[in-house]
Structure 1
Amino acid sequence: MSCWEVLGLPADADKRSIKRQYANLLKQHRPDEDPEGFQRLREAYEQALAWADWQQEVVVEAEESIPVDWLETQPEAPRPEPRPAEPQGPSPSQRLAMQCLEAISATNLADRVAQARLYGCERDFEHGLLMHCLAQEDSYALTEAAIGQLHWLTPWQREDLPVGATEQLRNKLMGLAWSRLTGASHDNQRFLDLARQLGASPWLQTLDARQWLNRCLAMALLQAPHWSEAWFDAICAQQGWKQTGHHSPCPEPWWSQLLARSHCATFLEQQTRLATTADSSDAKAARMLFGRLDEDARMRLSMTFGAQDWAACEALYRTVESRHPELLEDRPELAPDTWRPLRRQPPIMAVPLAILGASTWMSWQFEYLLGGSFFSSVLDMLMRALLLGVVAWGLSACCKVLCRGAWRLDQSLHARFGHWLSVRRPAPLPIRESLWVGLLGGLIYLAGGTPAAGTYFGILGALAVMSRRRTFGRGPSVFARLYERIPGDVLIGLCLGLLVPLVLLGNALASNGALAVNQGLQAWPQRTCIARQLTPPPCPSELSTLQWHSTSQP
């Protein structure tokens, strides 16, 4: 209600009428009986007096603006009606609106709006409040409250509000909302509450505003330092981004980038979970590439790797490179230069062939030449090779355990003296790959002497020299591919199928060797001399060809 409606007077009433009407109404609204009515009456009385004073000032200024000389020179002319001049200061409505805007906040906005309506200065109050919201830096809460109370930036706002000011306010609200979203991106629950609050804001209910909100939420999610799949699903459910049957409300290309980051986070979570499971090849590969290990732990883990484990690492890296290349920038430990140098490829056949050669020499020297049979010599050779293989496996395991604590020393020795300690290329690690080979050669020397040790080290040296040539490196790769493609039972059957014929062939060659003259035929000539009567006595120890093959005379 305006002040004139409260007093029951017209808008052009003078001060005398206002005071008389106030005295009459004061009897009805006594301060002790009706304090609210008295307060309303008092405010209306003061506002009406201020309005009357302002009208009187306008009339006086209009009269003084007419020149006296002009009136004296034209007495016959009718006096024009005095035209009210433009007011120089703020109007009473503007002064009342300024009083209502003092110390205004989001909490007392409703009371101030009601007060402005009571004073009849609602229009000036809204204009002043709009300018106040534009002038203040941090006025988001007040602006939100004003939008809810006065319906700004909606189809129900006042038509006389300046368009430029409202658009400026809209841009300011968008900037404040974006800063609040980016500031809450580190707290998932706070971000969800803020997104829900923005989704319910009246000024964000138009189609363009909803698209802007979806775009801002998508960009804030992409820029968030930490990602949570539950957080992303909650935002999608709240905004309706994953609704089936139509296009997603989230605009492109942000929706595709969000899906890519979601898939990447799911993949990363799977690998992190796999790294804590049993020691399978995939688990070891996930632990090597995604385990966040330090240098010592990575080195100790690499010592337990086999060919299948390194193949799993290569397959996992190819998957990351093709499907999730953004992980290569976020995680430097995925770079191949970090984990590929840890892979060691010692010769597979060198030590077994050297053991087999030394065992063959010892069986030949200590078994066959001393009168043993071929089969017993072969069996002795195989048993000795098996025993040396078990000893070699034990020495290799001990050196690996020793190298876990002294791998830095091993790397230092390899860098300084690796090329001098071995002729094989690439040079082996001194402690991890060469120490147990030398210890095994010492045991072979104690068991078989210098010839056996010479055979052992001679085979190793010959294979090491051959490894320096590029053509020799193709052989191990062929055997490795055959080992990966051919099943294990087929390989065992193939080895046994080759071993048995070789043993039988060796036995046949050993049994059919050249003999000395009359070796093993001492008894046969004696029986021949007894059977043949034509042979002159005494019976010769050596028979001629004619005596052996001549037919008997009748």
Structure 2
Amino acid sequence: MSCWEVLGLSEDADKRSIKRQYASLLKRHRPDDDPEGFQKLRQAYEQALEWAQWQPEAPTLSQLPAPLDDVQAPPPVPPHPLERPSPAQRLAEQCLEGVDAANLADRLAQARLQGCERAFEHGLLQRCLPDEDNYALAEAAIEQLHWLTPWQREDLPHAATEHLRSRLMDHACSRLTEVLHDTQRFLDLARQLAASPWLQTLDARQWLNQSLAMILLQAPDWSERLFEGVCAQQGWRLSGHHSACPEPWWSQLLAQSQCATFVQNQVRLTQFYDSSASQAARMLFGSLDEDARVRLSITFSAADWDACEELYRTVQLRHPQLLYQMPQLAPDNWRPLRRRPPAVAVPAAIVGASACMSWLLEYRLGGSFYISVIDLLLRALFLGAVAWALNAGCKMLSRAWRLDQWLHERYGHWLSFRRPAPLPIRESLWVGLLGGVIYMAGGLAGSATYFGILATSAIMSRGATSKRIASLYSRLYERLPDDVLVGLFLGILIPLVLLGNTFAGNAPLAANEGLQAWPQRTCVARQLTTTPCPVQLSARQWHVPKTSQADQP
């Protein structure tokens, strides 16, 4: 209690009123009957007299100067409080000497006993404002004096309290950022801040939730465990229309959480080898260097590359921030590894070379048509197996990937007519080696047919028509089942064989073959003749009289 509360007077009471009130209260608090009450009354009386002595006394009528007719006396100027501190301020300064968070309660009780609580609180607030480390003292003062709460003193300077609030907020954010790497310490500190008295208002709670959300979003490494812990402490996932975490930070946090879960699932898929999805995850999210990715791409099928494209589209649509966080997801880093060799040119060249060899080595030498066709199919099958082996061998040259890329960039446009230009080692070498095998098996004609078909296909690939045909072919291949494609192939092949046999059986006959006139066939049948057999009979020879024929020997 202050001295004015003990005496029951107001702070503007003069000495006469203080003395009169003291004499009145002394009758109730005699030293013999109530020594403790007398001690409090005496201390209050002395403090009140000292306070009243500092206050300027109202002048009496005898002390006023004689008024002038035309001049009005100026009002008395009170002394500046900084020039002469009040007794309460001097007592408050004594109580504030060496104050800290540990002894604040004792100093506050002493100030209340001496009746300078108001001055003590004002001075304490000024001590908490400087930049030195007074956060512990400020938090203790907030707890005991209810600063920054609805129960603080109304006469505290608003600018000073708001400055203190700003400094406490900055200090809280810096402390949370420092312990961000330790999940448990971060959660404990967030729990302590949520229980702080100066953060119990609605605006303060909203600021705390917003600060926690921003710190989580700005963290260099996302921690799903930390996010779920903060959600549980702050009640961010409680049912309702609105989350305790303000927007747009709550939506960003949810998106970041879903993105982290997506990345974890993809990393988990890299440990398996049983599906195209795991292959795509290993290519896009695996920790592989360039050579390892090249070796991985050799084992990829069309379904694996389609899974990579689908995974990239998912990242692009749902989690675009990963494209900036993970550079290996860029299409320029993995799409060049997918090579699209011509699906028609090499098989057509093999079939053409086989047909040329069957024509020259079978049919022209007297073989039947069906035997020549069977020979064509067997030869094409053999060359296809050789082509597959050569292609697999060139693919295994993955260590020459950097050399292959260098040759492709420097001389790719000169080494092949096809566009886009193939890789010299991985895609063109086996085609050339297969041409050498065809030359050894079928001679110059077979190899010329093989390379001629390849050159024609490569030149045709430069135009837009070939691209449309390739696109149509790829769409048919993707949409039609395998059994339907086999049926179409056999349905086209068998009629072609039968049609070829028909044309082969109806070839024009040479001279002296087939049905001919009787005299000519008789002449042909003679072994020795005095006159040569006529090539064509004249009309007279066809219509010779019977008599003349009878006279002939």
Could you state the TM-score of these two structures normalised by the residue count of structure 2? 0.76
**CA distance in structure 2 between the aligned counterparts of 1:251 and 1:210, rounded to whole angstroms:** 11
- Cross-structure match for 1:454: 448
The one-letter amino acid paired with 1:352 is: P
Measured after TM superposition, the shift of residue 57 of structure 1 is 11
- Cross-structure match for 1:476: 470
Q: Residue 138 of structure 1 aligns to a residue in which SS?
A: coil
Structure 2 residue runs without a partner (length 5+): 7-17, 21-30, 67-77, 520-535, 544-553
- Cross-structure match for 1:416: 410
- Cross-structure match for 2:133: 138
Which residue among 353, 356, 363 is the counterpart of 1:358? 353
**CA distance in structure 2 between the aligned counterparts of 1:123 and 1:281, rounded to whole angstroms:** 76
Structure 1 residue runs without a partner (length 5+): 14-23, 29-36, 38-43, 74-83, 526-541, 547-554
Measured after TM superposition, the shift of residue 459 of structure 1 is 1.4
Q: Residue 135 of structure 1 aligns to a residue in which SS?
A: coil
The correspondence of residues 111-260 of structure 1 with structure 2, limited to 5 A, is: 111-117=106-112, 119-260=114-255
The one-letter amino acid paired with 2:379 is: R
Q: Residue 100 of structure 2 aligns to a residue in which SS?
A: coil
- Cross-structure match for 2:342: 347
- Cross-structure match for 1:101: 96
Q: Which moved more, 1:104-113 or 1:454-463?
A: 104-113
Verify the 8 A CA contact 1:3 1:48 in the aligned structure 2: no
Verify the 8 A CA contact 1:94 1:121 in the aligned structure 2: yes
**CA distance in structure 1 between the aligned counterparts of 2:399 and 2:106, rounded to whole angstroms:** 77
**CA distance in structure 1 between the aligned counterparts of 2:131 and 2:435, rounded to whole angstroms:** 88
Verify the 8 A CA contact 1:414 1:430 in the aligned structure 2: yes
- Cross-structure match for 1:33: none
Structure 1 residues 132-181: Cα deviation after superposition (integer angstroms, max 9, x where no partner): 11124332222222222222222333344333332332232223223333
Which residue among 425, 429, 446 is the counterpart of 1:435? 429
Measured after TM superposition, the shift of residue 435 of structure 1 is 0.9
RMSD, aligned CA: 4.1
Which residue among 484, 501, 521 is the counterpart of 1:507? 501
The one-letter amino acid paired with 1:333 is: Q
Change (3 A) 1:53 1:261: closer
Measured after TM superposition, the shift of residue 384 of structure 1 is 1.7
Measured after TM superposition, the shift of residue 353 of structure 1 is 1.1
The one-letter amino acid paired with 2:359 is: W
- Cross-structure match for 1:283: 278
The one-letter amino acid paired with 1:241 is: W
- Cross-structure match for 1:491: 485
Aligned length: 487
Measured after TM superposition, the shift of residue 3 of structure 1 is 10
- Cross-structure match for 2:550: none
Q: Residue 243 of structure 2 aligns to a residue in which SS?
A: coil
Verify the 8 A CA contact 1:4 1:48 in the aligned structure 2: no
**CA distance in structure 1 between the aligned counterparts of 2:267 and 2:542, rounded to whole angstroms:** 90
Could you state the TM-score of these two structures normalised by the residue count of structure 1? 0.76
- Cross-structure match for 1:261: 256
- Cross-structure match for 2:269: 274
The correspondence of residues 35-46 of structure 1 with structure 2, limited to 5 A, is: none
Which residue among 387, 391, 396 is the counterpart of 2:391? 396
Measured after TM superposition, the shift of residue 234 of structure 1 is 2.0
Measured after TM superposition, the shift of residue 197 of structure 1 is 1.3
Verify the 8 A CA contact 1:54 1:92 in the aligned structure 2: no
Structure 1 residues 231-258: Cα deviation after superposition (integer angstroms, max 9, x where no partner): 2222222222222233222222222222
**CA distance in structure 1 between the aligned counterparts of 2:450 and 2:52, rounded to whole angstroms:** 124
Measured after TM superposition, the shift of residue 457 of structure 1 is 1.3
